[in-house]
Structure formats: structure tokens, C-alpha cells
A and B are shown apart, each in its own frame.
Chain A
């Protein structure tokens, strides 16, 4: 029995596992879409990051790639329930960074796209500019990620299936 399997806190009383599963699936799908679209047009995302005027120009392409990959990877982890606590924890850190970056730009009076969910612009024509709205939304995501990070599972799902079959 591995260390991760020994500490599976999923069935804890007080927070229904169905709710955690729902949150995991919803947020996982959302982060996969968000990371995927960024990877598909990495140059555009890098230009949006440049507009935040926080990072040096040399780092921007690497950060754009890292953020996109992180979102895609963590989204997949959440969706498959594969070390979802780690995935949610990484996304929590990223949400905190996004909130801080947007708040910083808002205070400096900068006005530009937030680069959060570009597919909303493409599908629904919603323009995603930095402001109170996207900050509140990211705070909401932060709150929704917390139960997964604290009470979610830290295991490989198909290994568990194998074990149960053996038993």
C-alpha cells in the first residue's frame, strides 16, 4: 500500500464526496478548455501577459507556456481524479497569482484583456477585460478549489480498481 493510498480522505463526514466529484469534474473541464485554447494560440497569450507589465520580456514566452501547460495538466488531473489534491493545490496557487496580477494592474489603472477564458469571447462575444468581475470570479474558483485541495483524493484511480478486483 502506497503512502498516497493510505491517506485517502475522500469519505470524510461533513463534505459529501459527490460534491467534491462534481466540483472536480466542472473545474477540471474548465481548466482543460482554458489551458488548451492558450496552448493553441500561445503567441496571443504571451502578448496578453506582456500587457500586464509585470514580467521581463525574456520570461514571457516561457511563462505563457508554463501557465498553459499547468492549466491543462491540472485540469486533466482533476477530471481523472489523478492526484487531484496536488492538481487543485497548484491551481489554488495559480488563482492567487492571477488575482494578485489583476488587482495590481487595476490599481495601476491599466486596461486590457485578462487572458483568462478566451473561448468565452469566441463563443459568446464576451470581452474579458481585467476588472472587479474577473477578480471576483477567480476568488470564487479559489473557494471552489479549496474543498478538493483539502478533502480530495491523492491516488491513481485505475490502481484502486486493480486492487478492488484483486480483492
Chain B
């Protein structure tokens, strides 16, 4: 078997070839126009566009569409490839949503490790004041890189959970558009490679938010960064479209929207945001990209339109911030809604009680999604936009606390008086609630205009954001990994190691987030590599040291989890079909799940969360003849 049996190897080759062809094409066009043949920025930009196409062609995810344009039928092949080992399907284009879900998750975890490593590097730099080993520009590139890689990792993690779980939870055989599903995953690979590559051709030193005018003048790395974001954005758009159609059209008879597993509601809300808002980050980055490439001055702030000549000036960098945050604020809800859905999904299972206020939780996800569209301006209180805008944005932001509070209280209501089992997934759910509470309580401080002014652009914001991301995504994601690991592999992870992971990571994270908020109040700026050791009465250095140590402890915990999974995926104790005694459809079928998940169409016979109600079930998955 040669290496190029693997789709990903062909894809990477295609990406390199695409890059070379794109660069040669640029040189050829420039020669034809009578310009100097080589110019770094256009060559890298066109090369990167071609490299994405090259990867997709190489990996083979466009094959079926190309056949359709010729009218060639494309029958589905089910199951592992016939002429190759079964494991190769995970490294090639495969249309089964369970394979794609695993691909998303694994690629997401890989990026999580890269982003974590970058964070460890600059955290080590920050443990002492003064500059130790990182230059100012590299530090800036690293913090931007940490942010963007982690955003990619989170989107992939969300995609992994949604793709794997939603069809199973609604009893569907697969997603509505399996080919689009595979394409959606494979966009991520060339996209994240471009992002990493950008570090080696100059990086991008104005942060992940890419505010012009800095980003319009920064190094070439920005073009690759933009293209990487386009690729991941396309993945988000086609992935969410697919999930929406799957949820709306493929539920079995009897499963009304308010009878779906609650995680599907979270995915539904998050997909609505992803489908629409993602266009805005694409548009805003495209505008900066063409401003750099073609001199189109959208954000070029020279002069007022028409003062000298009607053709000069008029650009406004604040417009970029509006367009950018119109995505990037809802993005935060895209990250946390599925995580909060996991919390709501797991709590009844481990409390052995019905989910408290199902409809309220479902609707609160929708409310958060809708509110997400009208709060972007709270990132811009000090941007110099019209003062009057601050007030509606402040109140709209404070309103988000209401649906979030609904979730918190119904989680408490679910646990109240329940027979709680403290297995590792449940511990991570409880960790998520505690951490998200820290993030939630620090939110109103930042959304209130007078308290935001002194804290804006300080490490307090960093602490708040990390608490919402860990509480809303990382902890629930880890809970989900532990919880569905036996379903995916058929094997049980090591419970003791899982618990050690939890008891290391949770206190470490509390120290990290509260420490970040602390140094922020002392006067630590975001995005500045150095700080004055006399800040906070000379205390700031020891606080920074504590945050750094906590960061390393979290990294150690994550490594422990991955070791645990790696060790037990093939040789762990057999888990059985339903170790958690869940009512959800995916637990009523064998582990690992067969190729066509359900032996017969799923029938809904009860409510999803009636835990504790004797002799009741949610669905039956056997064919009618077996009853």
C-alpha cells in the first residue's frame, strides 16, 4: 500500500502543487502585463487560493460533483473501502457521518494541542517581566495565532459533536447531504495549514481581530490568515446548512421539534448563527484583503469623501469593526451553545431525573442566538463610534443574562433531589457549570459602559473570555469525549485517570481565569509582551507566575486525557451498549455503532428525558416484527 492511498496525502500533495501553480500563474500574468515577474504578496495570495482547490481535488472531495457536471451517476459506497484496510477511511474522503464526526474531532484536538503549545510558549515569556526569549513581533503573532487556532479548534470540535451526534439522536441514517458533509470537513485541513504556514512568511502581528489600518499594512501572513479563515468559514456555512436540513427534514414520525434530544436544539440555534453571521467575517476580511491587493480603500482613513476630489478618501476603519463583530460576537454563541447543550443533555442521565423545563431550555438557546445578532457593538464602546449607540448595545448585552440564567436554573432544577452519579463526564459537566458561572458573572461588568472603560483591552477581558470558552466549550467538550468514548470505540476509558484529569484541570483553570482577571485589574494590557513589575503593589509578577503554572497544569491534564483515550481505544474493558443507562437513541444500538446505525426506522414511543419513570422508553430501534 503506497502512502498516496490515503486521501489526506494526495490532498497535501495537491495543496503543494496548487500553491506552485498559483504562483507560476501570477508570475505569468505579471510578465504579460509587463511588470516585474515576482512579487511576494500576489504570488502567495493566488498560490494559497489555488492550494485550497488543489487540496480538495487531491483528497477527492470534489470527485462526485465533477461527475455530476458530466452527468455521470455517482452511486453511494457504504462501509469501509473494499481494497484497502478499514482504518484508511479516516484519512480519506468518507461519506459516513460517524467517520466525518471522528475526523472533525481528531483534527480539532490536534489544533487544540497546537494552540495550547503556542499559549505555553508565551505564558512562559509572561511568567517574568521583561523580555526573555520572544521578540515583540513574534509575541504578537503568537497571541493572534493562539486565538485563531483555538477558534478553528473549537469550530471543529463543535462540528465533530454535531456531525456525529445529531443524525444518531434523531434516528436518521445519515446527514441530509453526505457529500457536502465530507467537503465541509476537508475545507478545514488546507485552511488550518495556511494559517500555520502564515507564521513562516512574516506572521500577522495585529492580533486575531485583524483591525485595519494595522492589518492593511502588516506582513504578508495576513493574506494567508484571511484565506485560512475563508476556508474554515465555508466549512461552517455548508456544515450548518446540512445540520439545519437534517434536523428539519429527517426526524422520524412522532419526534416533534419539542421532543428532540435537547442537544439538537442547541445545534439548531448554533447552526442558524453559523449559516448567516459567518458571511460577515468573510466579507470584512475580503475587504481588507482587496485593500491590500488592489488598493481598494474601504478602510483607508485618509480624508473625508469629496473634500479634495470625489474620488479620494472616505474609508473608515470603524466600519470594519462593525462588520467583523457582527460575526465575531455571535461566534462566541456558536462556540458555547453546543457546549451548554451537552450540559443539558448529560445532567438528566447522571441525575436520573427528567430535564427541568425542557421547552425553556430549548427556547433559551434560540433566544441567545437571536440576541447574539444585536449585541456586537459592546466590543466597540471605546472605538469612537456614535456615543448614543452605547446604550442600546449595553442593554441588549445585559439581556443575554436572562436566557443564560434560564439554563442555569433549569440545570439546578434537574439536579435538585436527583440520584447524582459522579462519573467523569458528570464531573466535567459540573466543572463546566462552575467555570461558566465565573465567565457569566464577569460578563455584566464588561457590558456595562462605565465599568468597561477602565477594563477595556486589559487582561480582565482575557480572563472573562477564557472562562466563557472553557465553561461553554472546553469542559462540556471533554465531558462529551468521556461520555461518548464508549459509544464510539466500544471500550471504557480509565475512570481513575479521568477523575485525576478533572481534579487537576478544574482548580488549575479557576486559578488561571481569576488570575488573568486579577492582573487585568492591576493594569496588565492585552497584546503587550512586557509589563511593569511594580504594578499591583509589586504583586503582578507572582500572579503571572501562578497563571503560567496553572496553564501548564491544564496542559498536563489534557495530555492525561489523550493518553487515557489512546490507551483504551482498542484494549480497554468492553463498555457494553449503554453503560450510562441513557434513553437517547444512539445508546439503544450496539457499540461501536454499525455502518447503518439503526437496524430499522426509529419509532418514538415516549418523552426523551423521563428518567425514573419505570417501564418507559424514548424510542424503539428494533423492527416491528421483534416487539
Q: Are A and B a genuine interacting pair, yes or no?
A: no
